[in-house]
Amino acid sequence: MRWLIRRVLKRANGDVFEDDIHFGDTLGIGRGTDQAVYITDLRAALAHARVTAVGGGRYRIESLIAAGVRINGVSQQSATVKSGAVIDIGSTRIRLVDPPADYDAAVEINTIDEAEAEAARPLPKLTLTEGGLGKRRWSWALLLLTLLIGLGVPLAAHYAVPVRDVVEAVPLSGRPLWETGSLASAHHFFGNDCQQCHVDAFVSVRDEQCLACHAKTAAHVDTDFDLSLAGNDRCAHCHRDHNGSAGLVRADQQLCDDCHTDITTRIKDANVHADVADFGTRHDGFVVSLPQWDARGEFAPVRAALATPGIKEQSGLIFPHDAHLDPAGVRGPDGTDKVLECANCHVPEAGGARMQPIAFERHCQGCHKLTFSIRDAQREVPHASVEKVGYTITEFFAREALEGGFNEVNAPTVVRVRRRPGQSITPQERAEALSWARDQARSAIDRLFQDKACSTCHAVSRNATQDWTVAPVRVAGAWFPKARFDHGSHTTMQCIDCHNAETATSSEALLLPDIDNCRQCHGGEHAKNLVPTTCIACHAFHDAAHPGQ
């Protein structure tokens, strides 16, 4: 269904029309960015109402909130109306109109004039003063009652234990009047014991009360840096409880940029990448941690900017993404072509933030079989170390040789002759059979590692003793350990919007997007027509790599 959405903008020289087209059976209305009719008025819910064209110039209007929606001046949950009906949401008026040619339905959106809204309000017939109930007298009475309940009673309960026992037993104690909001969920277990945090009356919460529980909280940066700039900040500078659904941690940009703006001019040896102030206008490109190991075999990742010329992944694997994402499909062992998608291998974790590790048995073995003998085409070696693979193959051929009945012209007689179960052979025959088995196993191992399977994906070589070695696989567990990224929050995007896997011909290609890709949707705190994104959306203040200080 083709909808015409016409917005009427009032100008001094007349009205201006902006037309949009929406395809779908229903027209969503609300403050959410996924709604066809987007309303900025805070009185509108994210998904406030929907309109369905039922044919014959008639429309079905349904409210998506419990309060209903105002249709032709009356609040209703749903109604079936004709063209000309009006929906009022906050200061926005949506009129259902007859669609022009080439359209199935149409709406017209404009702003309700203040004069019209004021005229629609019913005038009071009698004021309080005219009725002998002036506001001043009642205001003073209410003020005194509020001071008594909200201030007098709590103070008496705080300083006098007998009064406290009485007040605690009365539901109307006055304490809720001092609470700015509900506690963070992590603090609910002591929520009724205010003195856990508020030791002295009318004194802000001290850091000592926070550290009584959070003694092992990590610091922000390494102690080698001069932290005098942040030395006087209290825990409450960043963490504010009694915020209800707003959360315990501040999310405004100033939380970070009051220190990080021009930080290289104020702190010696500060990283240039830490000099940030706004994601949209003042933030360096992304820096990744490339997995590396030092001479002692300890993990020692190297930090490098994605914009570094020649940067590449050194995972030890041979894996061309473009070959696996061929639109024509990939030929499988059964001779059929299977079209693969990213989701065939990359599956989100339960929380949706990161991806589960790739496992050969689950993601690769369906096509890449590890068979080694045409005599038993279903038998495969485990995807394991060189030693375990060699042991499996040697064991297989030893069993074949000792049981006999192996149909191979060049095999010794003792291997080709079929024997009854339990029939013994001479020590000389056993030695001859096992010698043949070792030769067959060695040949099968060479084919498997060099020609058939392993070298397809791994860097395989021989060491000084002519034994096979496979380069270790070193895939990064987290490319951005100093940041957070939640795939579950980006389900409206396609994988190729961020990862150019379809054109990646080598496993060395680092398929990670730089900051310009993110800036297509995300901007700074005050960005327009973009998702406002502050530092805390991607970065944590307390770094587990640094001990508390």
Task: Kindly list the distances between the CA atom of residue 386 and the CA atoms of 57, 171, 174, 349, 433, in Å, as whole numbers in the listed order.
Answer: 74, 73, 74, 30, 24
- pLDDT at residue 546 is higher than 60: no
pLDDT on residue 176: 65
User: How many domains are contained in the chain?
Assistant: 2
Confidence band (pLDDT; 50, 70, 90) for 548? Answer: very low
Note whether residue 277 is domain-resident.
Answer: no
Q: Quick one: which of 234, 242, 246 has its CA closest to 205? A: 234
- pLDDT at residue 494 is higher than 90: yes
pLDDT on residue 28: 94
Q: What's the CATH code of the domain at 8?
A: 2.60.200.20
pLDDT on residue 387: 93
Confidence band (pLDDT; 50, 70, 90) for 495? Answer: very high
Note whether residue 276 is domain-resident.
Answer: no
The residue-averaged pLDDT of 37-50 equals 92
b/e code 496-532 from CB counts within 10 Å (16+ = b): eebbbbeebeebebbebeeeeebbeebbbbebeeeeb
Note whether residue 413 is domain-resident.
Answer: yes
How many angstroms separate the CA atoms of 167 and 175, rounded? 10
How many angstroms separate the CA atoms of 511 and 517, rounded? 12
Average pLDDT, the chain: 86
Note whether residue 445 is domain-resident.
Answer: yes
How many angstroms separate the CA atoms of 40 and 33, rounded? 10
Identify the domain containing residue 60 by its residue range: 2-120
**SS3 (DSSP) at 97:** strand
How many angstroms separate the CA atoms of 50 and 107, rounded? 12
For 333-338, the CB contacts below 8 A with 24+ separation are 333/367, 333/369, 338/367
pLDDT on residue 549: 42
- pLDDT at residue 518 is higher than 90: yes
- pLDDT at residue 61 is higher than 50: yes
Confidence band (pLDDT; 50, 70, 90) for 39? Answer: very high
Note whether residue 378 is domain-resident.
Answer: no
Half-sphere exposure of 84 (CA within 13 A, CB side): 1
Which stretch of 105-119, 152-166, 407-421 has the lowest confidence by average pLDDT? 152-166
Identify the domain boundary among 92, 120, 148: 120
pLDDT on residue 333: 87
Note whether residue 291 is domain-resident.
Answer: no
Task: Kindly list the distances between the CA atom of residue 109 and the CA atoms of 73, 467, 529, in Å, as whole numbers in the listed order.
Answer: 16, 77, 20
pLDDT on residue 22: 92
Tell me the per-residue pLDDT of 133-192, one tens digit each, with 9 for 90 and over: 777 888 888 999 888 877 787 777 777 777 777 777 776 555 666 677 888 888 888 877
pLDDT on residue 247: 80
In this structure, the chain runs to a length of 549
Identify the domain boundary among 77, 101, 120: 120
Helix axes 427-446, 386-403, angle to 10 degrees: 140
The residue-averaged pLDDT of 329-335 equals 89
Which stretch of 86-95, 224-233, 269-278, 327-336 has the lowest confidence by average pLDDT? 224-233
Give the dihedral sign, CA 233/239/241/245.
positive
Note whether 114 and 90 are within 8 A (CB): no
The residue-averaged pLDDT of 349-357 equals 88
How many angstroms separate the CA atoms of 67 and 43, rounded? 11
Task: Kindly list the distances between the CA atom of residue 423 and the CA atoms of 391, 398, 405, 426, 483, in Å, as whole numbers in the listed order.
Answer: 25, 16, 13, 10, 67
How many angstroms separate the CA atoms of 220 and 218, rounded? 7
- pLDDT at residue 344 is higher than 70: yes
How many angstroms separate the CA atoms of 297 and 316, rounded? 16
Both tokens of 502, joined, read 């379809």
- pLDDT at residue 339 is higher than 50: yes
Confidence band (pLDDT; 50, 70, 90) for 523? Answer: very high
Note whether residue 481 is domain-resident.
Answer: no
**SS3 (DSSP) at 347:** coil
Share of residues in the chain with pLDDT > 70 (%): 91
pLDDT on residue 373: 86
Note whether residue 414 is domain-resident.
Answer: yes
How many angstroms separate the CA atoms of 391 and 64, rounded? 65
Which stretch of 89-103, 155-169, 279-293 has the lowest confidence by average pLDDT? 155-169
The residue-averaged pLDDT of 388-412 equals 87
- pLDDT at residue 230 is higher than 60: no
pLDDT on residue 130: 67
DSSP element (H, E) containing 177? none
Share of residues in the chain with pLDDT > 90 (%): 43
For 206-213, the CB contacts below 8 A with 24+ separation are 206/234, 207/234, 207/235, 210/235, 210/239, 211/235
Identify the domain boundary among 416, 449, 470: 470
How many angstroms separate the CA atoms of 88 and 91, rounded? 7
